[in-house]
Amino acid sequence: MYTENPRLAGRASSDRPYPPGPRTSYRPSAFGNGPRKRPSIIGPTSRALARFSFVALVSVGATVAWQSYGAGMVKALAPSLGRVLPASQPGPSAISAEVRAQLKPVALDLAEIKRSVEQLASNQDQLARKEEQLAQAFATLQATKQDIDQKILALTAPRAAHVLPPPKALQPPAQ
């Protein structure tokens, strides 16, 4: 709870004996009468860096320990965490003949799907090549059409120069 210094109670902030400077904060308390300098930022920063470093080192140590000793040690030390850990995977010899018989048609279907996907990819490549050839043929046709249009204009241009313009209508003289 904030209580004001009894010596300063009732005074306006402008009447106080020591107004705070630009880098100071005025701390009304019974411990001092004057302005107090702000604490250095080095102290809190170094403490935060030390905390971060400690957390990082503990995390790295836990990771190394986990990789070295595995989940078995965790299960032994804390059995309640056993349900959180992933179940161990059975080896290939642990799979029964019945399961293998069920997986065989699935494997064949996956192989057929793989072949179909490869065939679709090759068909797509062929279509892309044909599309490119069509684009080149279209560009050639456009260039040929433009060339023919220019030749036609060249042939019709001299005839247009020999054609006489239509006669102008006679206008009556202005009165």
Is the pTM value of this prediction over 0.85? no
- Per-residue pLDDT of 17-59, as tens digits, reads 555 555 555 555 555 555 566 667 787 888 899 999 999 999 9
What is the predicted pLDDT for the residue at 25? 55
- Per-residue pLDDT of 124-161, as tens digits, reads 999 999 999 999 999 999 999 999 999 888 888 655 45
Q: How distant, in Å, are the alpha carbons of 3, 49, 115, 119, 125 from that of 112?
A: 83, 58, 5, 11, 20
Distance of alpha carbon 33 from alpha carbon 36, whole angstroms: 9
